[in-house]
Amino acid sequence: MADTSPNDQGPGYVSKKCHSCYTYVPLDATVCPYCKVRLGKVGDHGMADKLTDWKAYVSFAVAFVIFLVFIIYAFF
Ligand SMILES: [Zn+2]
């Protein structure tokens, strides 16, 4: 009568799927070994969650501000 139900540890997945290249990677992997994209925890349907790339958001914001300053400087 050992309690070995698969629901003991979360959803019961043994691997997760990379959201970028769709290969199976280990459940505890934080980076895809094939395409090097960052992976989150396993989510719905065994897919790895996408992580927010804050560096990309910040670099976009800085570049957009520089662009606006240039437009104001050049045309007004
Ligand atoms: Zn991948």
* Residue 7 included in any domain: no
Domain membership of residue 19 as a residue range = 15-75
Maximum distance among all Cα pairs of the chain, rounded to whole angstroms: 79
3 compared with 31, residue with greater pLDDT: 31
Nearest to 13 by CA among 59, 45, 50: 45
Ligand 1 geometric centre to CA of 55 (Å): 20
* Residue 6 included in any domain: no
pLDDT of residue 30: 93
Ligand 1 geometric centre to CA of 24 (Å): 8
Q: Are 25 and 15 in contact (CB under 8 A)?
A: yes
The pLDDT tens digits of the residues spanning 16-62 come to: 999 999 999 999 999 999 999 999 999 878 899 888 889 999 999 99
pLDDT of residue 45: 85
Ligand 1 geometric centre to CA of 67 (Å): 33
Query: Is the C-alpha dihedral spanning 9, 13, 17, 23 positive or negative?
Result: positive
* Residue 50 included in any domain: yes
